[in-house]
Amino acid sequence: MFMNKTVITSSATETQKVGKEFGQQLLPGDCVLLYGNLGAGKTTFVQGMAQGLEITKRIISPTFVIVRSYEIKKGMFYHVDLYRIETKHDAEGTGLFDILKNEKSIVAIEWPEKLDGLLPFKRWEVVCNYVDEQHRSISITKRD
């Protein structure tokens, strides 16, 4: 179980492995918020989550398109990257708020701090920190 857990990984492969194990426990309606600076491992973690959800397509950051969607056995998985969003108003045209209301979806949001105050109360928070060139700290907390 991943409630209130912190791990240190020493490679992208290890970060993906932690993400995969985490992704295997996700259920429809789960929202995962990923915090961390550029290069901290957020997208790498999401790639692992996708493996855990049995997604076989290549997962790349949706930085320019904002939202990418993937069919999964449990419904839909949405990978959202808000890096290029400037204001909460900018997010309205992305369909994100409708996605968050869909209880059959699993949503992963990078840069969620851009929507401060508009995010689900019930959520997973994943904080990725750059330790050094090879190591990342990943803290996972469930908020109810």
Domains of the chain: 27-132 (3.40.50.300)
Task: State residue 1's pLDDT score.
Answer: 54
d(CA 69, CA 106): 10
Per-residue pLDDT band for 91 (boundaries 50, 70, 90) equals confident
Burial class (CB in 10 A: 0-12, 13-18, 19+), 86: exposed
CA dist 54 and 23 (Å) reads 9
d(CA 7, CA 137): 6
How far apart CA 104 and CA 113 sit, in angstroms, is: 24
What is the rounded distance in angstroms from the CA atom of residue 67 to the CA atom of residue 57?
15
pLDDT at position 26, please? Answer: 95
Q: Say if residue 107 is exposed, middle or buried (CB neighbours under 10 Å; 0-12, 13-18, 19+).
A: buried
Q: Is the dihedral of CA 81, 100, 7, 59 positive or negative?
A: negative
What is the predicted pLDDT for the residue at 60? 80
pLDDT in the model for residue 25: 94
CB-based burial label for 78 (10 Å; 0-12, 13-18, 19+) = buried
Mean pLDDT of the chain: 89
Q: What does pTM read for this prediction?
A: 0.91
